[in-house]
A and B are shown apart, each in its own frame.
Chain A
Amino acid sequence: MKRALARVLLATALATSGAAQANSSTLPDYSDLWWNASESGWGAHVTLQDDVIFLVLFVYDAQRQPRFFVASEMRRAQGAGPFTGELYSTTGPAFAGAFNPAGVAVRTVGGASLSFATPGAATLTYSVDGVTVNKSITRQSWRIPDLNGEYKGGLFASTVNCPSGLPSLGYPGSVKISQSGDLVTIDSTFSPGFAEAGTCRMVGRLSQLGTVVSITEGTYGCEFFNEPNSVSGTFTLTAIEANESGFGGRYTANQGGQCTHTGYLGGMRRGYDILPPVEEPPAE
């Protein structure tokens, strides 16, 4: 792995200097533990940093012993298509003793390719000393993410064929997510002063792909404080990534057949608690 990691170290140095800084992230985050659910026992640890994937493949050799291979620099040609890179086999000092990195030897054994059909499904192709293996893989899931919380953010989307005639919409404000099992309710209140004030309720079903979740079968309805007419439709929220600071995902919606929305819904966590109102004692 010395050569492979030497490249990584070089990349790190470049990143520190800013030269390896890439454009603003537009890819789904493919970082996750991936497997073939029908072949429990081997897997692929995928880590994406901007436009480079580091793949660690943990499998077994012909003697049934655990072996790992790495592809430390998987990229997409011209920024599109599958991620590809060289695959390496390494040997090194035993874990039980002092580790001297000079004792690590690396050998190129073939190549690796990851072709993502969706953010949660891919085809892994790799070759080791002339033997090529093709596997369908998906993200591995073991816990339902908890989206419950109150956030500051909103919904921002491009619109096509919508009654307003405007090219975009923005509903900034407060977002509250209530999750019970796979049922998710998103209540948002738009901030007055920035956009038309109002409220929206979105209800859908949560489905999980490893660390990334989606809300499907969604319906929404919005009411505006200064307009008598409400709007409603269907929506999906995909590639939702949630962490300690907030959540966000890709939003698509359809309002009345021809009107479509495409954009993002997300927010940072509210940074403070709101204490419940103090009840006045009953008058005597």
Chain B
Amino acid sequence: MKIKILFGGLLSALALPWQAAAANTEYSDLWWNPNESGWGVGLQRQDDVIFLTLFVYGANGNSTWFVSPNVQLLTTDSPSSTWEGPLYRATGPGFAAQFDQTVQATETGSARLQFTSGESATFTYTVDGVQVVKQISRMTWRQPSAAGSYHGGFSTKIEQCGDVRRIGAYDFLGSMTATQTDGAIRIAVSTVVDGGVSSCTFTGNTRQAGRLGFWAGAFNCSIYIGLDERGENPVRILRHGTFTADRVAVTQSGFRGVLTAADQDCSFSGYVGGTRTP
């Protein structure tokens, strides 16, 4: 079987966009077992299909690779999900020669990915009846900085409040400045509503896992709600608590991640992010 045929089968699905994009956990990365430096797995996700390339060594010690171009979701899409697809070994024209269409692919077994979070997984594959089980995580070599100027903030559900009147939805969006140094992040957001300034500041530590960041720390918000009865002095509500921002992707156009937080009274879950301002 030619790999082109495999790819062609995938390409035929182009007219079928996947509908559950909201839970589209980004698994695309270079994965490895840090205790077994020397082999790895390349994952590339496009909606509901992962293309997996396995880089290992054969019985003679030479490098070799297997490919699973159609690894499909078996469970509900979430950071903890299970995927599986057939695994192929291919042969073809040497890289130094003119490339022709004589590639042959043979199905050798299967590949299964059980993600336990957005940053680790159990990888099980079989080749000619031999099963291998490995723990893998994202390989990290650089920590991108989110430092910059943005318009953004957070958009969340509010739940589990002692004061049930606060349960609902909450957006806080405005001018945002992010600074990041030595594994520490600080994000300040301010906005003006009804002539009063409201602000929130998030400070915490950053950890990088492959292409994604994981932030955790504390926040303080000062929310302007109007003037006092005399119409002279601003009245504010002060909120403070802890937060985590998971699977944060920093890109050319901004940054975005999954936010969970809790203040004195309520829990928040949703998204945090910003769009760069020129």
Contact = CB atoms under 8 A, between A and B. Distances in A.
Interface of A: 1-2, 5-6, 8-9, 11-12, 15-18, 20-29, 31-33, 36, 39-43, 45, 47-52, 54, 56, 58-70, 72-73, 89-96, 99, 101, 103-104, 128, 131, 133, 140-149, 152-154, 156-158, 168, 170, 172, 179, 181, 191, 193-194, 210-211, 239, 241-246, 248-250, 262-272, 274
A56 B40 contact: yes
Contact of A8 (B4, B141, B156): B141
B103 A92 contact: no
Given A194-B174, A243-B249, A41 B92 contact: yes
Q: What's the interface size class on B, roughly?
A: 35 or more
A244 B253 CA distance: 16
Given A56-B30, A64-B93, A243-B26, A142 B49 contact: yes
B144 to A, nearest CB: 4
A72 B248 CA distance: 23
A90 B208 CA distance: 27
B145 interface: yes
A25 B144 contact: yes
Given A8-B141, A65-B64, A244-B247, A211 B275 contact: no
Contacts of B49: 142-143
Contacts of B95: 42, 59-61, 67, 128, 131, 133
A12 B140 contact: yes
A115 B153 CA distance: 36
B101 to A, nearest CB: 8
A1 B40 CA distance: 11
A64 B62 CA distance: 13
B271 interface: yes
B201 interface: no
Contacts of B257: 245
A144 B21 contact: no
Contacts of B40: 56
Given A60-B93, A99-B36, A146 B19 contact: yes
A146 B42 contact: no
Interface of B: 2-4, 7, 10-11, 13-19, 21-26, 28-30, 33-40, 42, 44-49, 51, 53, 55-67, 69, 89-97, 99, 101, 103, 105, 127, 130, 132, 139-148, 151-157, 168-169, 171, 173-174, 180-183, 191-194, 208, 210-211, 247-254, 256-259, 269-278
A143 to B, nearest CB: 4
In this complex, which of A96, A149, A210 has the most chain B Cβ atoms within 10 angstroms of its Cβ? A96
Contacts, number: 407
Given A96-B127, A99-B36, A241-B251, A268 B256 contact: yes
A25 B251 contact: yes
A18 B18 CA distance: 38
A8 B155 contact: no
A68 B4 contact: no
B64 A142 contact: no
Ordered nearest first, which 8 A-B pairs have the shortest CB separation? A271-B270, A248-B253, A41-B103, A104-B38, A18-B182, A268-B273, A45-B42, A40-B4
A22 B148 CA distance: 12
A172 to B, nearest CB: 5
Given A15-B208, A91-B62, A45 B44 contact: yes
B277 A67 contact: no
Nearest to A60: B92
Contact of A20 (B60, B66, B105, B143): B143
A94 B2 contact: no
A43 B90 CA distance: 12
